Amino acid sequence: MTAADAPVVDMLGRPLDLLVRGGTAVTPSGVAAADIGIRAGRIAAIGDLTMAPATTTIDARGLHVLPGIIDTQVHFREPGNEHKEDLATGTLGAVLGGVTAIFEMPNTNPSTLSQAQLEDKLHRAEGRAWCDHAFFMGAAAENAAQLGRLERLPGCCGVKVFMGSSTGGLLVEDDKTLAAVLANGTRRVAIHSEDEPRLRARKSLAEEGKHPKFHPVWRDEETAITSTRRLLGLARYAGRRVHVLHITTAEEMDILADHRDIATVEVTPQHLTLAAPDCYERLGTFAQMNPPIREARHREGLWRAIRSGVVDVIGSDHAPHTRDEKAKPYPQSPSGMPGVQTTLPLMLDHVNAGRLTLERLVDLLCHGPQRIYQIAAKGRIMLGYDGDLTLVDLKAKRTIEESWIASRSGWSPFAGQTVTGWPKATIIRGQIVMRDDEVLGKPTGRPVRFAERL
């Protein structure tokens, strides 16, 4: 796209509320110098806007302008575990990390299983959430028959299934219940794919090993592969689209490549960056998550899947616990780590290292979430879309410091790591909510809208 491809102002010719001037924009048409004008919360003009009047102007020279980053897998722990995180601190970390919208998981206390529980979360987010948001409905035997109605409620991004046990009590381990879940509803279902019977059978390996390096031994490759094969068979029988979360094995990527008509794929920055056994020797239980960090051959398999197009989305799986909780002896220590704030810096560093292009990163963090979950008017720099933008400095070299982490947990497995590439501003519906590591204004996050329920 060139600056001449779009008009200076829209057809009505009114002044802009916000003008982002002089940046290099990553649009569906390509990467090119372009100004972006926002009015009434929507993108109103793209191109050479030198002469366009605007109430507020941001000088974006030297910066790249991305669509607003969307993180489709976070655990903000509210209600029930606000000592670890809550909707205010979690979304604060999100906007500091360049994230403009999040999808929050249902394994809270109580779990999100009903309309009343979803509406409670939406109410809690009012006036407290810094970014836009939606919430998953958890799947269980008790609500399987109602999921077709529940998944279309306002503020719901879809249904989440835990095939293997993780943090919280949600679990759909048997084929009969999973088939019932898949038979009720039409939207894509998000899946945590680990085989629960195998996890139970092998738990003694973790208890006897007493070191987090046994985490990927207990929750081994076959635990993931067996579960994903089961899932794909049931999904195909039901004719239901699924999105398989945080894939960790090279073998699963090969399997999923043969099921692209019904299955989409997510990976996390943690699995793309860390590798066993080093991470467990260096970080101990602070590297423990589900599914686990595996050895380097699997990490390389994930990168091959990114390069070949099998991976659709990168999600943080932000799952904080306190330092004291994580410091418990393994395997009493809980699984999960913070990540919503560090996803973009880590992935920009991978761009600078040549592991993927900036365009591919935008596809994974913006276009992919919009496409898979059918988000209405987000995830792309296009006329009429929400004025959600993330401005980044690809050349900025920074060290991730725990003093920068907004999560109530207060730590990061990447503390001390130097990265190249940093979020400089977060703009949500035309409002500047973060600039140069400073959060501005008040929380004004709104529920995300979805095309599949409009």
Q: In this structure, how many other beta carbons lie within 10 angstroms of the beta carbon of residue 278?
A: 14
Nearest CA to 364 out of 280, 302, 320, 446 is that of 302
End-to-end CA distance of the chain: 31
CA angle 287, 357, 450 (to 5 degrees): 75
Nearest CA to 228 out of 264, 276, 275, 272 is that of 264
| CA distances from residue 418 to 95, 396, 436 in whole angstroms, order as listed | 20, 10, 18
**Phi, psi dihedral angles at 190 (to 5 degrees):** -90, 135
- How many Å apart are CA 169 and CA 107, to the nearest integer? 7
C-beta separation of 28 from 380 below 8 A: yes
C-beta separation of 406 from 96 below 8 A: yes
Name the catalytic one among 35, 312, 317, 386.
317
Give burial (CB, 10 Å; 0-12/13-18/19+) of 295. middle
Query: What is the H or E stretch that residue 351 is in?
Result: helix 343-352
Query: What is the H or E stretch that residue 30 is in?
Result: strand 30-33
C-beta separation of 58 from 22 below 8 A: no
* Residue bearing tokens 């655990």: 75
Check if 220 is active-site. no
- How many Å apart are CA 46 and CA 389, to the nearest integer? 13
The stretches of 126-277 forming alpha helices (DSSP H) are 147-150, 175-183, 196-209, 215-218, 221-238, 250-256, 269-273
Q: For residue 174, what are its two tokens?
A: 């048997």
User: Which distant-in-sequence residues (6+ apart) come within 8 Å of 38 by Cβ?
Assistant: 16, 17, 18, 19, 20, 44, 387, 427, 429, 430
**Active-site amino acid positions:** 317
